[in-house]
């Protein structure tokens, strides 16, 4: 190992120093695809831990991840590999587990990890239905686990600065509306024929509690987001980030109501069954947060294709993953521009890592540091599971509203029900495919 790489294992915070005085924390990863590796390798960069186990139902992906981790972690040991997360958790040799499976596989491993006494990093959205989220929060609280959700906009350096310098200093004045949006051409457009799954993929286990579809090459890897069976479309994937960022920046809790319209308006040839066009309104009383995605055409502002625009009576703030711009109404006040922060000098491996979103790497590292600090203090991390549940549920309600012809859903966070809407409430819990059992918030 080079001296340059080795120095990255020196803890960079006081909490890291406290950890270094103990034995290295033992870490496992469930879901070794794109973002599972990105999350784990950022964690390795900020803490002298030991990755002891990896789990995936794709044997080829699993073996590749084990080789990568062996080359990056301090001990250079190859982690033990598992194809069944239950066996990995039952081994009893972990302190922390990362969960980066497809969305339909977040809830069950997370709850089992809580029962096993582990702290957890789980990717967003936390689940595919509202009751899953309730059960995940209940499990974290019952077993006193520290759980960080992968909504890492809360740990993005330039967005922290925008919140502190622009919003909290009152430079926008009173904010009445926030537009959040994604105009990426990210919806799958292909329509390949169904086929037999590859020999290295356990497709039965991959499908798990989701409805069984014929295997299709779009499903694995990564393109599973094209299907509502495994997630919640572009709203569940992209709106959850920007809604969560907005809630964090403005200290918002639950929306009073959610409404949404949209559908497949343009691309009717693809096998994908998620919307290509959707608008949602999250009503917070005197503040409205309005989402739009459109997977075709040009963005209104090419600099901000996936972002949030905060409109106040004193100015406007545009905030996205690549930077922010403050545009004051008073021409005597100087505008502010800030680009995303890269950390290539401290972490040169970011430059060459396959498939890494380099602009997101500092945010993931910050998110991991926050998780480790709160594990040490037994506090609530910045993207605590309850915050992830609020943002995830709000997005699920948007999809349910769209499914119910756009009617407004009035949410009661105490009862966890839509007020006076039995049809909507029946959709808060998806059926699970046998033999998997849907988690119950009262019996975790």
**Which residues sit opposite 81 in a β-bridge?**
54
Decide if 367 contacts 154 (C-beta within 8 A).
Answer: yes
Strand order from edge to edge, sheet including 277-283: 336-339, 323-328, 315-320, 306-312, 175-182, 288-294, 277-283, 257-263, 409-412, 417-418
Mean pLDDT over the full length of the chain: 95
**pLDDT for 91 beyond 60:** yes
pLDDT band at 247 (very low <50, low <70, confident <90, very high): very high
Half-sphere exposure of 342 (CA within 13 A, CB side): 11
pLDDT band with cut points at 50, 70 and 90 for residue 182 = very high
Question: What pLDDT score does 112 carry?
Answer: 98
**Residue 97 pLDDT:** 98
**Over pLDDT 90: what percentage of the chain?**
94
Both structure tokens of 64: 């590749």
Give the model's pLDDT for residue 7. Answer: 36
188 pLDDT more than 90? yes
Helix (H, G, I), strand (E, B) or coil at 332: coil
SS3 287: coil
Is the pLDDT assigned to residue 5 strictly greater than 90? no
The whole-angstrom separation of Cα 120 and Cα 198 is 31
How large is the average pLDDT for residues 238-256? Answer: 98
- The pLDDT, as a whole number, for residue 321 is 98
pLDDT digits (tens, 9 = 90+) for 371-421: 999 999 999 999 999 999 999 999 999 999 999 999 999 999 999 999 999
pLDDT of residue 23: 83
Distances (CA, A) of 68 to 58, 94, 203, 244, 385: 16, 20, 24, 32, 29
Give helix 34-46 / helix 59-72 axis angle, nearest 10°. Answer: 20
- H or E element: which one contains 417? strand 417-418
- Among 387, 353, 337, 317, smallest CA distance to 148 is for 387
CA distance 172 to 115: 45
pLDDT in tens, 58-82: 999 999 999 999 999 999 999 999 9
Structure tokens at 331: 């021409």
- Structural domains of the chain in order of their starting residue, each with its CATH number: 3-153 (3.40.50.720), 156-208+215-343+385-425 (3.30.360.10)
pLDDT exceeds cutoff 50 at 3: no
Q: How far is 207 from 216, CA to CA, in rounded Å?
A: 12
Chain CA centroid to CA 59, Å: 24
Tens of pLDDT, residue by residue over 302-353, are 999 999 999 999 999 999 999 999 999 999 999 999 999 999 999 999 999 9
**Model's pTM, two decimal places?**
0.94
Q: With contact defined as beta carbons under 8 Å apart, do 55 and 89 qualify?
A: no
Distances (CA, A) of 146 to 1, 96, 189, 291: 32, 9, 39, 30
On the question of pLDDT at 116 being above 60, the answer is yes
* Radius of gyration of the CA atoms of the chain, in A: 21
Q: pLDDT tens-digit profile of 366-377?
A: 999 999 999 999
Region 24-48: mean pLDDT is 97
Which run of H or of E encompasses 4?
helix 3-6
Look-up of token digits 């001990």: 75
- Between the two ends of the chain, the Cα-to-Cα distance in Å is 44
The C-alpha torsion from 166 through 169 and 171 to 177, rounded to 10°, is 70
User: pLDDT at residue 6 above 50?
Assistant: no
Res 274: pLDDT: 98
- Which of 244, 256, 187 lies closest to 412, judged by CA? 256
Q: How many CA atoms lie within 13 A of 210 on its CB side?
A: 26
Beta-carbon contacts of residue 362 (< 8 Å; ≥ 6 apart): 156, 157, 340, 341, 342, 343
Which letter, b or e, does each residue of 95-119 get, where b requires 16 or more Cβ atoms within 10 Å of its Cβ? bbbbbbbbbbbbbbbbbbbbebebb
The tokens of 260 are what? 């949404």
Q: Among candidates 398, 416, 415, which has minimal Cα distance to 407? A: 398
121 forms bridges with which residues in the sheet?
98, 148
Residue 300: the pLDDT is 97
More confident site: 19 or 238: 238
Residue 19 has pLDDT above 60, yes or no: no
């Amino acid at each position: 190992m080079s001296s340059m790489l080795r120095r990255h294992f020196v803890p960079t915070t006081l909490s890291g120093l406290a950890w270094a005085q103990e034995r290295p924390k033992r870490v496992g990863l469930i879901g070794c695809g794109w973002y599972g590796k990105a999350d784990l390798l950022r964690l390795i960069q900020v803490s002298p831990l030991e990755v002891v186990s990896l789990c995936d139902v794709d044997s080829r992906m699993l073996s590749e991840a084990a080789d990568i981790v062996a080359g990056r972690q301090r001990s250079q040991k190859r982690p033990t590999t598992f194809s069944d997360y239950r066996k990995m958790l039952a081994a009893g040799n972990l302190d922390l587990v990362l969960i980066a499976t497809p969305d339909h596989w977040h809830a069950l491993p997370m709850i089992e990890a809580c029962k096993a006494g582990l702290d957890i990093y789980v990717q967003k959205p936390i689940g595919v239905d509202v009751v899953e989220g309730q059960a995940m929060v209940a499990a974290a609280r019952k077993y006193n686990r520290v759980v960080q959700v992968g909504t890492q906009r809360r740990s993005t350096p330039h967005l922290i600065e925008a919140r502190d310098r622009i919003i909290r200093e009152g430079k926008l004045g009173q904010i009445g509306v926030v537009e959040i949006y994604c105009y990426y051409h990210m919806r799958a457009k292909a329509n390949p024929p169904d086929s037999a799954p590859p020999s290295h993929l356990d497709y039965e286990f991959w499908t798990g509690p989701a409805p069984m579809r014929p295997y299709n090459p779009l499903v694995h890897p990564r393109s599973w987001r094209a299907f509502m069976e495994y997630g919640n479309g572009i709203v569940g994937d992209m709106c959850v980030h920007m809604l969560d960022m907005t809630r964090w920046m403005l200290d918002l809790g639950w929306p009073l109501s959610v409404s949404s319209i949209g559908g497949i308006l343009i691309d009717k040839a693809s096998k994908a069954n998620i919307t290509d066009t959707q608008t949602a309104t999250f009503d917070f009383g005197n503040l409205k947060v309005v989402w739009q995605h459109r997977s075709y055409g040009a963005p209104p502002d090419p600099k901000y294709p996936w972002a949030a625009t905060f409109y106040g009576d004193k100015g406007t703030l545009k905030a996205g993953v690549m930077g922010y711009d403050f545009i004051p109404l008073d021409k005597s006040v100087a505008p502010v521009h800030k680009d995303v922060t890269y950390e290539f000098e401290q972490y040169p491996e970011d430059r060459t890592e396959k498939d890494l979103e380099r602009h997101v790497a500092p945010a993931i590292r910050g998110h991991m540091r926050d998780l480790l600090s709160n594990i040490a203090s037994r506090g609530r991390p910045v993207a605590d599971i309850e915050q992830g549940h609020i943002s995830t549920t709000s997005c699920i309600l948007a999809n349910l509203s769209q499914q119910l012809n756009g009617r407004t859903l009035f949410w009661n966070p105490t009862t966890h029900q839509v007020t006076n809407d039995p049809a909507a409430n029946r959709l808060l819990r998806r059926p699970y495919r046998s033999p998997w059992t849907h988690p119950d918030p009262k019996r975790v």
